[in-house]
Chain A
């Protein structure tokens, strides 16, 4: 295959990943690396570099819309970015030392966990008037818009959430993903943020986290223009089209499709990682 054929095919695959990611709200970044490695026989390190770049594109593109709707909590975002960027730099440093077979196995496990998590929708549990010492000190508590007007919320278990975000940053760098599944664990389940606040704030942070490790990977030669450019353009267009047709899309069915796709990719990544086929 020549680059003239390879680039449009990769862009088309990335477009589908971005579309599915936007329609299911689960992020397409996680299927980009398996698509490149399993489908196009791209080296795992190039795939991770390209995927990280696309994660920045979708995060920044979508954050622009969210931030102006007034759901994003910029203070929580900045505070947790301290944890995710340190995690990302640690992850990028580790990535050079970890063999690709181990990275593939870790990727498979994260995909499996994502498939499992995408099946159950967590219940919202907003806390008010029960201040956390750190949340008060850092003024993290805020309000968010609802149909009945502004509603206040109190942020819980700040140190635990911060630690989980460090893990999210490390995984993001090691695997070239947004690691939204760990961020949800930290922000929804641990810190008890309202869904709209946690998804938008987490999306806001994903770009910053990915930028930290993408810089390191650029210097190490992981970012190949022939792979990263079509992936970035494809995912971005897919995400934009997805956001446009989202109202009226069969989200439930698409989530099921996404879960099956992710589960199959998980098993294949695990198999290739264990047998050393990557």
Chain B
């Protein structure tokens, strides 16, 4: 079997595995972050009636990564959630690779468009 001859079924298998791994990693990071967060912030009152937004360190991928390095526990929880949001994006990226290998021009275009829209949402939107 060469990579150029990937069948739809084989692609499905790889995609299924990727989604499982993504959800697993995201859950582990969220749980670990959540445990630390409960220790550092557990005593605070849980009042979420008013919408106050989030500090910059929890609102963007760069901010969150910076927050994790600064040992800011909410950022670690947020990293887990971002990894989860990124899982379907990785799935679309992998599907794009598969369609490129299959030389399926229409679907390379459609999948590329979906990937651009997702990347816009996750990295560039305001």
Q: Say if A and B assemble together.
A: yes
- State which size class the interface on A falls in: 35 or more
Confirm or deny: A97 has a beta carbon within 8 angstroms of a beta carbon on chain B. no
- Taking a contact as CB atoms under 8 Å apart, the answer to whether A229 and B34 are in contact is yes
Interface string of B14-34 (1 = CB under 8 A from A): 011101101100110011011
Confirm or deny: B123 has a beta carbon within 8 angstroms of a beta carbon on chain A. yes
| A254 → B minimal CB distance (Å) | 25
- Taking a contact as CB atoms under 8 Å apart, the answer to whether A60 and B23 are in contact is yes
Interface string of B46-69 (1 = CB under 8 A from A): 101111111000111000000000
- Taking a contact as CB atoms under 8 Å apart, the answer to whether B12 and A68 are in contact is yes
A-B contact count (CB 8 A): 199
- Taking a contact as CB atoms under 8 Å apart, the answer to whether A233 and B34 are in contact is yes
- Taking a contact as CB atoms under 8 Å apart, the answer to whether B48 and A41 are in contact is yes
| A162 → B minimal CB distance (Å) | 12
From A114-122, A177-185, A216-224, the one touching the partner chain is: A216-224
Q: Of B8, B44, B88, B123, which contacts A208 at CB under 8 A? A: B88
Q: Is the interface of A mostly helix, strand, loop or mixed?
A: helix
In the bound complex, CA of A46 to CA of B46 (Å):
13
Confirm or deny: A232 has a beta carbon within 8 angstroms of a beta carbon on chain B. yes
Confirm or deny: A154 has a beta carbon within 8 angstroms of a beta carbon on chain B. no
A67-B19, A229-B34, A233-B34 known; A211 and B43 CB under 8 Å?
no
Closest to B106 in A: A138
Confirm or deny: B82 has a beta carbon within 8 angstroms of a beta carbon on chain A. yes
Q: Of A5, A63, A70, A223, which contacts B19 at CB under 8 A? A: A63
Q: Of A7, A85, A86, which contacts B34 at CB under 8 A? A: A7
In the bound complex, CA of A3 to CA of B113 (Å):
41
Residues 189-238 (chain A) with a chain B CB within 8 angstroms: 207-208, 210-216, 218-221, 223-230, 232-233, 236
Confirm or deny: A57 has a beta carbon within 8 angstroms of a beta carbon on chain B. yes
- Taking a contact as CB atoms under 8 Å apart, the answer to whether B41 and A226 are in contact is yes
- Taking a contact as CB atoms under 8 Å apart, the answer to whether B37 and A225 are in contact is yes
Q: Of A3, A70, A79, A215, which contacts B125 at CB under 8 A? A: A215
Closest to A6 in B: B46
- Taking a contact as CB atoms under 8 Å apart, the answer to whether A2 and B15 are in contact is no
- Taking a contact as CB atoms under 8 Å apart, the answer to whether B60 and A63 are in contact is no
